[in-house]
Amino acid sequence: MPETIYVATEAHIVPLRHGGTMNIPVGYWVAQGHELMQSHPEKWRVGARSTSSTPVAPGRSSTERATASSGAVPELTWRDRPEEVVILQGAARARIEAEALESRDGRETGGWLLLDVRGRDDTEFSAATGPGERAKFEPNRVGLDIEYRVAVEETAQRMDSGLIVSGDFHTHMGRSARPSEGDRTAWCRNFEFLENEFGARAAWTGLVLTSEYDDDWRNPELHAFVVRRDPITRRLTCENAIVKEVN
């Protein structure tokens, strides 16, 4: 079944399940039935429905897009003085922190990051989503809902917002911020999908969230990593980055 996306028609404030509130800006997306809709359902409208389960790059079938990968997984390059900077606008940061609260049950969670392709910075994110209702949650991994990602991107296109999915975030149990080989494999695969559409401009950002205590995610630490293709060697690179927040 395709998933229905709802879009906020008015800016408003909603209470969060674990305490506190969240500012919902106009144009914010959630899946049908999401808890953020419960307090003010009249402030949301149907955005779009997903008609496919895999993002498809121009000129490729969904099967080709799902399997396209060079197979190369770069080692993490750690810089004491990172050259990469990931910028989170306030709404994106708020959504990330709200989703992180779900890891109180001891399982990883996460979501997608959206940037405006009309902007100049390929690592500045104005919005974030949850994992989607078909996501799979485990103590040491989370499988984000691809169909939900497609529905979000289709909604963005229909609204002519300029937003695309160009990153993801997820929590890590045990305070380790180092991305696993599985994390880097997924980031590289997503980067290559994006590269098919945007060429040399493509970059994929992965955020890893950690907490001092696995049952308390009220103030998570954010650790950023950026995957690009080196213009000289043509190899994929994965480097740590600084995280900055702007309003």
Could you list the residue range(s) of the whole structural domain that residue 88 is in?
71-246
The answer as to whether 135 is a domain residue is yes
- Tokens (6 digits) for 2: 């395709």
Give residue-wise pLDDT tens across range 94-150. 999 999 999 989 999 999 999 998 888 999 999 999 999 899 999 999 999 988 888
**To which residue do tokens 């989607």 refer?**
132
CA nearest neighbour of 211 among 169, 172, 240: 172
Give residue-wise pLDDT tens across range 137-169. 999 999 999 888 888 888 888 888 889 999 999
The answer as to whether 131 is a domain residue is yes
Domain count, the chain: 1
Any idea what the CATH number is for the domain that residue 240 is in? 3.40.140.10
The answer as to whether 130 is a domain residue is yes
67/97 Cα distance (integer angstroms): 32
- Tokens (6 digits) for 26: 């106009």
Q: Please answer whether residues 61 and 68 qualify as being in contact, where contact means their C-beta atoms are separated by less than 8 angstroms.
A: no
DSSP H or E run through 171: strand 163-171
Count of other CB atoms within 10 angstroms of residue 241: 20
Q: Taking the model in full, what pTM does it have?
A: 0.74
Strand order of the β-sheet with 4-8 is 29-31, 4-8, 44-49
The answer as to whether 101 is a domain residue is yes
